[in-house]
Amino acid sequence: MTLTPPPLSLYVHVPWCVRKCPYCDFNSHEFKSGKSRGELPFAAYVDALLADLDHDLPLVWGRTVQTVFFGGGTPSLMPPEFIDRFLQGASARLRFAPGCEITLETNPGTAEHGRFEGYRNAGITRLSFGIQSFDDGCLQRLGRIHDSREAEVAVKLAQDAGFDNFNLDLMYALPGQDLAMAEHDLERAFALQPAHISHYQLTLEPNTVFAARPPSGIPDDDAGWDMQEHCQAMLADAGYGQYEVSAYARPGRQCAHNVNYWTYGDYLGIGAGAHGKITLGHDESILRRWKHKHPTRYLAEAGSDAAIGGDERITPERRPFEFMLNALRLVDGFELATFEKRTGLAAAAIEPQLRSATERGWLRIDAGTVRPTELGRRFTNDVVALFLTE
C-alpha cells in the first residue's frame, strides 16, 4: 500500500497562563511573580513562531493548510495585533484553504471589551471558551480565575463581535458536584446558544496537583456515569449531535481541526512544547516531532535544530495502534479505505484484531465502515489495546 498525505492542519502553542489549574497537564507556565500580561514577550514570541515555521516548512512544501488552532496555555492572553501578525506571516509562507477554520482558545478571565473584534479582524473564525462550570463553588475548587458571571459576559462579548461559531468546554464529576449541578451547567450553556460543546469528565492526570493531592468530594464512578448518561440525553434533546467521545455539535459545526486529528490527519506543531505529525511522501514514512517545552529556551532556539525536543518515525507496526487511538473516538467510526491511505497498510493487517473486537461486541463492520458499538465506546481503551503489538 502507498501512504497518501492526509489533510494538513497547523497547531500553534501559546504557553503562558495567569494561573496553572491544579488538574491541568498541558504545557502551561504561570507569569513570574509581579509580571503583568503586558510584559509577556509576545513580539519576540511571534518572531520565534515564524522562525519555527520557516524551519519546518520543508516538511510540508506545496501542501494546503485546512485548519489552524491556537492552543495553550491561554492564547487569549496574546493581543489581537500579534495574532494578526502571525497569521499574516504564516499565510505568506503556507497556502491556507478557502474558508480555513482558525480557532483560538480563550479563558473568560482574560476577556476584554474590544478584544474579540480584534481577533475577528485578524482572521479568527472560531473560539473555544474554557468555561468548565457555571457553578462558582466548582470553579473555585478547580482553581479557575473566572466566575460564572464573567463566563457569560465573555461569551456575550464574542457574540456582539460577530462570533456565532464557538465552543464551550464543560467538565463533570467535579469536586462537590452532584447530578443536578451537572445538569444545571448544561442548561446555562444552552442559554448561550453555542455551536459546539465539549463535555468531558474530570480526570486526575499524572504530574498534576490534583494527582498528588486529590481533592475531596469527587463523585464516584457510578455517580459520574449517571452524570454522563443524563447529560448526553440533554445534549441530544437540545440538538447537539455527539460525533466524538466528548464532542457535541450543531449540524455542520463539528470542529474540523479536531476531526483531522481523530482521522489520523497531519498537523504541523509550532510553539513551545508543540507536537506535530507529518506524512512524508518521499520516503513513505510518518514523522512525529515536538519542540522544547520551556518558553525561555524556545525563544532562544526557535528556528534551529536546537528547538526540536525530538523526532520519531512511526513504524508500520505501531501505525494501527496510533490510528485506532484516534479514530475509535469517533461515533461514526472510520472507513477501512481511510485506514489504508493514512497508514500505508492493507486492511488485512488488522483483520485479526477487528474480528476479536467484533466477537466481543465492541465494534460493528458494515460495507467497509468500522464503528464502535455503545459497549465499545464504554471500553475504548480495551478496544485500542488490541492493536498494540509492539
Please indicate whether residue 250 or residue 208 has the higher confidence score (pLDDT): 250
Which DSSP category does 167 fall into?
E
pLDDT band for position 33 (50/70/90)?
A: very low
CA 30 to chain centre: 20
User: What distance, in Å, lies between the first and last C-alpha atoms of the chain?
Assistant: 21
Q: What is the pLDDT of residue 36?
A: 61
Where does a domain end: 242, 260, 278? 260
How far apart are alpha carbons 284 and 279 in whole angstroms?
7
Domain count along the chain: 2
Flag whether pLDDT at 39 surpasses 90: no
| Residue 285 domain-assigned (yes or no) | no
**Are 250 and 325 part of one and the same domain?**
no
Model pTM? 0.95
**Are 192 and 81 part of one and the same domain?**
yes
pLDDT band for position 389 (50/70/90)?
A: confident
Cα torsion through 24, 141, 154, 166, rounded to 10: 50
**Are 58 and 188 part of one and the same domain?**
yes
For residues 248-260, average pLDDT: 98
pLDDT > 70: percent of the chain: 98
Q: What is the pLDDT of residue 30?
A: 84
Q: What is the pLDDT of residue 37?
A: 59
| Residue 299 domain-assigned (yes or no) | no
Going by C-alpha positions, the residue among 246, 225, 224 that lies closest to residue 235 is 246
| Residue 200 domain-assigned (yes or no) | yes
DSSP output for 114-165: THHHHHHHHT--EEEEEEE-S-HHHHHHTT-S--HHHHHHHHHHHHHTT---
Which DSSP category does 63 fall into?
P
Q: What is the pLDDT of residue 180?
A: 97
For residues 220-238, average pLDDT: 96
CATH label of the domain that carries residue 362: 1.10.10.10
Average pLDDT, the chain: 94
| Residue 365 domain-assigned (yes or no) | yes
How far apart are alpha carbons 236 and 245 in whole angstroms?
14
pLDDT band for position 245 (50/70/90)?
A: very high
In terms of residue numbers, what domain contains 146? 8-260
Flag whether pLDDT at 58 surpasses 70: yes
Q: What is the pLDDT of residue 168?
A: 98
| Residue 122 domain-assigned (yes or no) | yes
Flag whether pLDDT at 184 surpasses 50: yes
Site of grid cell 503586558: 38
**Are 202 and 337 part of one and the same domain?**
no
- Are 80 and 118 in contact by the 8 Å Cβ rule? The answer is yes
Flag whether pLDDT at 113 surpasses 90: no
**Are 123 and 244 part of one and the same domain?**
yes
CATH label of the domain that carries residue 246: 3.80.30.20
For residues 237-252, average pLDDT: 97
Flag whether pLDDT at 8 surpasses 50: yes
Q: CA geometry: angle at 259 spanning 49 and 45, to 5°?
A: 10
